[in-house]
Amino acid sequence: MSNLVRPHGGGELKSLLLEGTALEDEKARAETLPKITITSREAGDIYMMGIGGFTPLDGFMNHADWKGVCDSYTMESGLFWPIPVTLSTDSATADTTHEGSDVALVDGESGDVVATMTVTEKYGIDKEHECMSVYKTTDLEHPGVQMVMDQGEVNLAGPIKVLSLGGFPETYGDQFMTPEQTRALFESKGWNTIAAFQTRNPMHRSHEYLAKIAVETLDGVLVHSTLGKLKKGDIPAEVRSEAIQTLIDNYFVPNSVVQAGYPLDMRFAGPREALLHAVFRQNYGCSHLIVGRDHAGVGDYYGPFDAQSIFDEIPENALETKPLKIDWTFWCNACDGMASMKTCPHGKDDRILLSGTKVRKMLSEGEALPATFSRPEVAKVLQDYYATLSDDENVKIEMKGHSAQ
């Protein structure tokens, strides 16, 4: 019997990806069905349902689910869920799509059919209400708000059958791992308590410090990177993976840290997204989620530790995966090492605050990363990447919000 945390909902992993004859038959049937084009965000949600990352969901949410999740983190069934998982289309397509009918879902970027769905409900939503509930703002400068406001006018609900993982396994190889695979890996290592470290960036010295705090108290750490769509100027997944592995190989005890990736776009929902990260890390077998400063945030839409306090606002039994809350971390010249607000007695003049944004800005401007920011082996991987970029490819990085502090 496994000693790992149970999948969300208390049951078994629910992977919706078809295999073998069932897959081939459904692919053939999909070619005969009406097609609905989906966004990158919707495709990522499908892939997560395909591998069991969104256990126990079996498809896209209906209106009652949407409203319950927005207003009280609860689906119609009573299941805790922090962010709506919905699929939308335009009014014209919705008019020709009937409840009870089957449709094929086509990735708008690749043109591939990635799933089929039985439409059980069509409904409209108050997009501003969703934005205020999930993102705490309706400002179109917020990338998550823009994502919602760009959705079609009508949502379609219903169970899905997943036919493809969008090329993620082929593109990323061993870095792409399913919940079943990470659970098997943890059990093979004899790990029972594992902290997930969420990142869309390479790991700088503060990130390393956070992971090492977890290693001190738990069996291991899973550095878990998003492989989905990011923002302009973010570092590509393959470069990020090389930089992270370089750090693991040189600065962590063997068999204490592993890395993997998952096929989901960032929503930049701050506190709500921290809860979603905990939900699917529970499915991956992680007992804890490291939650530091401005987790999954963007700009200054959220307080630096709102993503920690939100875990105190949900029902105690909502999640088995618990937050590992860590204070603001930094390099302190007086301490001559990494520290946090809880361990360092010195003033701000001695502290060098780090952020992924600050590191990217320095790299994009050709500045050398000091040892207080990044390990030299990691810095070299990143500098080599930036040296390959043309002026057009090298996106200007602006310091905003908490990253500018």
Which residues are annotated as catalytic?
200-201
Amino acid at 33: L
Q: Of all helices (H) and strands (E), which one includes residue 357?
A: helix 356-364
**Of residues 190, 261, 180, the one with CA closest to residue 222:** 261
Give CA separation, 351 vs 11, 104, 151, 328, 339, in Å.
46, 54, 43, 11, 9
Residues 35-69 as b/e (b if ≥16 CB within 10 A, e otherwise) read ebebbbbbbbbbbbbbbbbbbbbebbbbbebbbbb
Mutual orientation of helices 376-386 and 237-251 as an angle, nearest 10°? 160
Residue with tokens 């009014």: 91
Q: Of all helices (H) and strands (E), which one includes residue 7?
A: none
| Helical segments of 109-252, H only | 127-135, 143-149, 168-172, 179-189, 205-217, 237-251
Per DSSP, what are the bridge partners of residue 11?
none
Task: Calculate the CA 246 to chain-centre distance.
Answer: 22
Q: Which two structure tokens, joined as six digits, stand for 67?
A: 């409203």
Amino acid at 240: R
Give CA separation, 190 vs 13, 110, 186, in Å.
20, 40, 6
Give the integer Cα–Cα distance in Å for 399 and 164: 38
Residue with tokens 């997944």: 237
Give the integer Cα–Cα distance in Å for 127 and 28: 36
Give the integer Cα–Cα distance in Å for 58 and 15: 9
